[in-house]
């Protein structure tokens, strides 16, 4: 398969505070409860980039009482982003559609995480991912955060743009259908799945301006002065 597109490091840095603020605290608490008592956690971060999930979740686990040693593996197809990874973590460049390489990366994982990942995956790659996770024994705990779920709202209102943007996302991957698709694949294989809405709530800021440029641009319409936006995302926990 063709590899996923690379993401601008400046965009990733710009969105990181909003991502961290939106993530589901409840699902993180459930995750931490499953990790309680472990002496060591092998954590595989899929689509890790430069480490946004790590920067949020590593201290969050400690805050929630998980005092295990954390052994992180960053997995991404973008070498330039992996080069920005913090010290003390391991990295692996691979295409998630490469089943054998993915199997090797996941081997021995206690916890598998990913952020802003599922919506950019084609259906066949998402299916391979769930199949490989399901084949692990024991199975890890899985948390996929901040998957686009479609239907953003802006002020002032913009008729038809959300539908056009969602269609553009579906042309690139699963888009706003991703969480439901992956949840169904997990459920078919006997996982317990929980989902929670985790929207961005944006007011005037550089992030809002950058997001609006992409959102209206995908619809092929001029970008107005947007004063606020609610951008739906969803987190998924599979156990």
pTM of the predicted structure, to 2 decimals: 0.94
Q: Which residues contact 218 (CB under 8 A, 6 or more apart)?
A: 164, 165, 168, 169
Position 186 in a domain: yes
Position 169 in a domain: no
Strand arrangement of the beta sheet that strand 228-231 belongs to? 153-155, 228-231, 200-203
Q: Which residues contact 129 (CB under 8 A, 6 or more apart)?
A: 46, 96, 102, 121, 182
Q: How many domains does the chain have?
A: 1
Distance CA 214, CA 197 (A): 22
The confidence score (pLDDT) of residue 174 equals: 97
**Is the confidence at residue 203, as pLDDT, over 50?**
yes
Interval 82-135: pLDDT, tens: 999 998 899 999 999 999 999 999 999 999 999 999 999 999 999 999 999 999
Position 70 in a domain: yes
The confidence score (pLDDT) of residue 159 equals: 85
Position 223 in a domain: no
Instruction: Return the CATH number at 141.
Output: 3.40.50.150
**Is the confidence at residue 6, as pLDDT, over 80?**
no
3-state secondary structure of 202: strand
Position 101 in a domain: yes
Position 88 in a domain: yes
- Phi, then psi, of 67 in degrees rounded to 5: -100, 20
Q: Which residues contact 14 (CB under 8 A, 6 or more apart)?
A: 206, 207, 210
**Is the confidence at residue 5, as pLDDT, over 80?**
no
| Structural domain of 77 | 9-150+174-203+234-238
Distance CA 85, CA 91 (A): 8
The confidence score (pLDDT) of residue 4 equals: 58
Q: At what angle do helices 206-219 and 9-22 cross, to 10 degrees?
A: 110
Position 159 in a domain: no
Position 131 in a domain: yes
Cis peptide preceding 138, ω within 30 of 0: yes
């Amino acid at each position: 398969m063709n590899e996923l597109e690379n993401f601008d490091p400046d965009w990733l840095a710009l969105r990181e505070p909003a991502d961290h603020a939106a993530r589901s605290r409840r699902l993180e608490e459930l995750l931490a409860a499953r990790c309680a008592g472990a002496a060591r956690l092998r954590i595989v971060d899929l689509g890790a980039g430069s480490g946004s999930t790590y920067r949020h979740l590593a201290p969050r686990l400690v805050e929630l009482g998980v005092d295990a040693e954390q052994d992180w593996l960053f997995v991404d197809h973008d070498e330039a982003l992996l080069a920005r990874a913090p010290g003390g973590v391991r990295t692996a460049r691979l295409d998630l559609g490469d089943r054998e390489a993915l199997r090797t990366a996941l081997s021995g994982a206690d916890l598998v995480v990913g952020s802003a990942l599922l919506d950019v995956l084609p259906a066949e790659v998402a299916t391979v991912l769930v199949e490989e996770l399901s084949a692990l024994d024991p199975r890890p705990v899985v948390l996929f955060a901040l998957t686009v779920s479609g239907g953003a709202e802006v002020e002032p209102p913009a008729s038809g743009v959300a539908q056009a943007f969602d269609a553009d996302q579906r042309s690139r991957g699963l888009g706003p259908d991703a969480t439901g698709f992956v949840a169904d694949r997990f459920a078919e294989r006997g996982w317990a799945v929980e989902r929670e809405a985790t929207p961005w709530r944006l007011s005037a800021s550089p992030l809002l301006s950058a997001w609006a440029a992409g959102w209206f641009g995908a619809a092929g319409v001029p970008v107005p002065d947007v004063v606020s936006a609610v951008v739906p995302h969803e987190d998924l926990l599979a156990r």
